A = this chain, B = another copy of it.
Amino acid sequence: MYNAKPEDKFTFGLWTIGNPGADPFGTTVRERLTPSQIVEILAEVGAWGVNFHDNDLVPIDATPVERDQIITDFKKVLADSGIVVPMATTNLFSDPAFRDGAFTSNDPKVRAYAIHKTMRAMDLGAEFGAKVYVFWGGREGTETDAGKSALDAGKWFREAINYLCEYNIDQGYDYKFALEPKPNEPRGDIYLPTVGSALGFIATLDHSDMVGVNPEVAHEHMSGLNFMHAIAQAWDAGKLFHIDLNDQKIGRYDQDFRFAAESIKQAFYIVKFLEDVGYDGSRHFDAHAYRSSDLEDVKAFASGCIRSYLILKEKAEKFNADSEIQGLLAEITTDDGSMSQYVGQYSSEKAAALKDYGFDRVELGRRGQPYERLDQLVFELLMGVR
From A120, A184, A340, A364, name the one whose CB has the most chain B CB atoms within 10 angstroms.
A364
Asked whether A97 lies within 8 Å of B300 as measured between CB atoms, the reply is no
Could you pull out 15 A-B pairs where Cβ atoms are within 8 angstroms? Answer: A22-B24, A96-B365, A108-B339, A110-B364, A144-B374, A163-B346, A192-B196, A198-B200, A264-B264, A292-B369, A293-B370, A294-B366, A294-B370, A297-B371, A311-B379
Instruction: Count this chain's copies in the assembly.
Output: 4
Given contacts A189-B229, A354-B116, A379-B304, contact A332 B106 (CB under 8 A): yes
Asked whether A339 lies within 8 Å of B189 as measured between CB atoms, the reply is no
Asked whether A291 lies within 8 Å of B99 as measured between CB atoms, the reply is yes
Q: Select A292's contact among B119, B226, B371, beta carbons within 8 Å.
A: B371
List chain B residues, Cβ under 8 A from A62: none
* A228 within 8 A of partner (CB): yes
* A5 within 8 A of partner (CB): no
Asked whether B232 lies within 8 Å of A150 as measured between CB atoms, the reply is yes
Q: Select A99's contact among B21, B249, B384, beta carbons within 8 Å.
A: B21
Asked whether B383 lies within 8 Å of A382 as measured between CB atoms, the reply is yes
Of the stretches A65-73, A75-83, A154-162, the one at the interface is A154-162
Asked whether A95 lies within 8 Å of B27 as measured between CB atoms, the reply is yes
Of the stretches A32-40, A43-51, A126-134, A355-363, the one at the interface is A355-363
